[in-house]
Amino acid sequence: MARVTTPSLAAPQLPRPRDVLELLKPITWFPPIWAFGCGVASAGVPVASRWPFLIAGILLVGPLVCGTSQAVNDWFDRHVDAINEPGRPIPSGRIPGQWGLWIAIIGTVLALIVAAVTDRWVFAATSLGLIFAWAYSAPPFRLKQSGVWGPIAVALTYEGLTWFTGTAVMAGALPSTQILAILLLYSAGAFGIMTLNDFKAVEGDRAMGIRSLPATLGVDRAARLACVVMVVPQIAVIVLLSLWDHSLVAATVTTLLVGQLALMTRLLRDPLAHTPWYNATGTSLYVLGMLASALGLGGVLGL
């Protein structure tokens, strides 16, 4: 008599670490880590006295919150990516089954745990950042489909909340009114940067019904709006820094703003063609202004 064998259950397939890392998109961590660094500088606290908190903060704004937001976005965009970008980790099957969702959930839980043991204000900022991360991509909100709410969510989390986190990590307290005012102004200006980022997908947005500003207003009008939104908050920053007796910093930010205005003249001639160039030049001047403002607020080098 032939022996009857019971088929063994296949072990669940686990994603490879390199595919998980690709899903978390480390290249996207740089902007929030830069803003976090501005927060650290603006706190005016010696780094050597807060090393464990500094490391926790970098982990939070980089792989845990920003990386989690990338996993959330790719999970809820997996059906579209299967058509447009089938080689990405989830549609390609390199992140199999429900693992894309589980990675997003695990990242969320880890971020909340790290934030909770770091500082109560850091926990508050992290919680708000994660709420925006899920609302940006997940139904029913899908803020990314709006040309207004999507850029607001990204600008606030990438610039404002990460700056807030950097200051709170170093000071162990709520940032001062001056710091809050400057980080909110730079967050407002970052709305323009996020609008420029939408230019690369304007045709796809129109086809998919995503109401980005370039898709709804047209490229030229959206570019002019983005420039105004970037310039006006920086003027307010310069005025505030001057009123607070940070004249050298105000002059530095003014010089960087004049450079941006010169570059914007070329951007506006052909926004679709020149946006990548402007992102590498004008946006760089913008974030250098952020750093200069932070160093001034933190009293570094007497600025």
- CA torsion 11→12→16→19, rounded to 10°? 160
Distance CA 119, CA 226 (A): 35
27 in the same domain as 156: yes
Q: Is residue 2 part of a domain?
A: no
Predicted pLDDT of residue 299:
83
Q: Is residue 209 part of a domain?
A: yes
Predicted pLDDT of residue 198:
83
**Crossing angle for the helix pair 247-267 and 219-243, nearest 10 degrees?**
170
Q: Is residue 12 part of a domain?
A: no
In terms of residue numbers, what domain contains 245?
176-303
Predicted pLDDT of residue 211:
81
Predicted pLDDT of residue 208:
67
Dihedral sign, Cα of residue 252, residue 28, residue 68, residue 211: positive
Residue by residue, pLDDT tens for the chain (303 residues) are 445 444 444 445 889 999 999 999 999 999 999 999 999 999 999 888 889 999 999 999 999 999 999 999 999 999 888 887 899 999 999 999 999 999 999 999 999 999 999 999 999 999 999 999 999 999 999 998 888 999 999 999 999 999 999 999 999 889 999 999 999 999 999 999 999 988 877 776 777 677 888 888 888 999 999 999 999 999 999 999 999 999 999 999 999 999 999 999 999 999 999 999 999 999 999 999 999 999 999 987 444
Predicted pLDDT of residue 191:
96
How many domains, the chain? 2
Ramachandran area for residue 235 (φ above 0: left; ψ -120 to 50: alpha; else beta): alpha
Q: Is residue 51 part of a domain?
A: yes
Predicted pLDDT of residue 276:
93
Q: Looking at residue 105, which CATH number applies to its domain?
A: 1.10.357.140
CB 162 within 8 A of CB 32: yes
Of 174, 203, 233, which marks where a domain is finished? 174
Predicted pLDDT of residue 71:
97
Which amino acid is it at 6?
T
Of 115, 149, 174, which marks where a domain is finished? 174
